[in-house]
């Protein structure tokens, strides 16, 4: 999948800090626009909500601070999908938790080095560009999936997981809302479930740019090559359920249900929390963690669409 050059909005009241960010983010790799303060940033975002793929936002600024900009973004239909990287010297557990609860999925503590900055920016832009690519495919796909009452689907590769997420999303009243959650859970069933790629191992593979290579290797190697994940969709009187099962040994899912300050500086690890907090009304893990049941209540979904 080939993505366009990421468009970044850099927000800081310090011209020096903005220059440092621009020096750390080479023009050949990123297109950077700057805003000196929260108010200017909000005006730019509101004027062109589809322009940016990620926002690097200083938390502490005079006037409209970063937290206020973040909250306003999360109440905007388009801007709420853009990943926000909070730049802050305020990195206590409570302050980090406040930022995560407000919707910042990425954190950078000052001072930071160039490699760390680029890793976080790459992760944020990659996630949003993937979302935009999926959303575009959703709009090209027919809506006949609304007729689906129930169905069982088997998948074993990340590409099959993506195709399935786009297909199943059309069975829901708001495809844009659920597609990211379905994708995160199906990819989790492949990567962490069937292929047994642990959290720390995935962090290392991403850092070394070898994740796709390792996935391809395991997909062709026993015992992983024979494993298949299953998704069971059902339209029920109270809502739409999706039950995803993999053939892995399971994992300790409890700590991934919410945005955890301990993982705020990592390049991944937010998928289950995003599905839980954004895409569905409830998520329940069963067994040893290799089964997950999601529910979207139709009454609330209809209210959101209306």
Tokens 């495919």, residue located:
137
Could you tell me the pTM of the whole model? 0.68
Output 286-289 pairs: Cβ under 8 A, ≥24 positions apart: 287/250, 288/249, 288/250, 288/251, 289/250, 289/251, 289/252, 289/253
13-22, 137-146, 159-168: which has the minimum mean pLDDT? 137-146
- What does the pLDDT read at residue 193? 96
If you average pLDDT over residues 106-118, what whole number do you get?
A: 85
- Phi then psi for residue 53, to 5 deg, are -100, -15
The domains located in the chain, with CATH, are 7-132 (3.40.50.2300), 141-305 (3.30.565.10)
Q: How many CA atoms lie within 13 A of 105 on its CB side?
A: 26
Query: Is the confidence at residue 207, as pLDDT, over 70?
Result: yes
- Between 20 and 303, where is the model more confident? 20
d(CA 228, CA 81): 31
Beta-carbon count within 10 A of 170 CB: 18
The encoded tokens of residue 166 equal 């786009």
The confidence band for 144, taking pLDDT boundaries of 50, 70 and 90, is confident
Contact 264, 100 (CB under 8 A): yes
pLDDT tens digits for 8-61?
Answer: 999 999 999 999 999 999 888 899 999 999 999 999 999 999 999 999 999 989
The confidence band for 140, taking pLDDT boundaries of 50, 70 and 90, is low
Burial of 31 per CB tally in 10 Å (0-12, 13-18, 19+): middle
């Amino acid at each position: 999948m080939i993505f366009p050059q990421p468009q970044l909005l850099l927000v800081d009241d310090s011209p020096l800090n903005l220059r440092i960010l621009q020096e750390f983010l080479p023009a050949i790799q990123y297109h950077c626009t700057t805003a000196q303060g929260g108010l200017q940033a909000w005006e730019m975002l509101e004027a062109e909500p589809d322009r940016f793929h990620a926002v690097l936002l200083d938390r502490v600024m005079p006037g409209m601070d970063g937290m206020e900009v973040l909250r306003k973004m999360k109440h905007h239909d388009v801007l709420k999908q853009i990943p926000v990287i909070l730049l802050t010297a305020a990195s206590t557990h409570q302050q980090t938790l406040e930022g995560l609860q407000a919707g910042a999925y990425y954190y950078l503590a000052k001072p930071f080095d160039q490699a760390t900055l680029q890793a976080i920016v790459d992760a944020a832009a990659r996630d949003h560009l993937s979302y935009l690519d999926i959303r575009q495919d959703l709009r090209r796909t027919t809506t006949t999936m609304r007729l689906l009452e129930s169905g069982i689907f088997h998948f074993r590769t990340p590409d099959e997981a993506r195709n399935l997420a786009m297909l199943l999303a059309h069975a829901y009243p708001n495809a844009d809302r659920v597609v990211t959650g379905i994708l995160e859970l199906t990819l989790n069933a492949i990567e962490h479930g069937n292929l047994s790629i642990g959290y720390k191992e995935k962090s290392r593979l991403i850092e070394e740019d070898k994740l796709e290579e390792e996935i391809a290797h395991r997909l062709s190697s026993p015992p992983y090559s024979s494993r298949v994940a299953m998704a069971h969709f059902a339209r029920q009187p109270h809502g739409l359920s999706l039950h995803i099962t993999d053939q892995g040994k399971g994992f300790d899912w409890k700590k991934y249900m919410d945005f955890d300050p301990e993982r705020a500086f990592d390049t991944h690890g937010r998928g289950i929390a995003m599905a839980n907090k954004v895409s569905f009304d409830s998520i329940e893990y069963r067994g040893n963690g290799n089964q997950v049941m999601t529910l979207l209540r139709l009454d609330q979904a209809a209210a959101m669409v209306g």
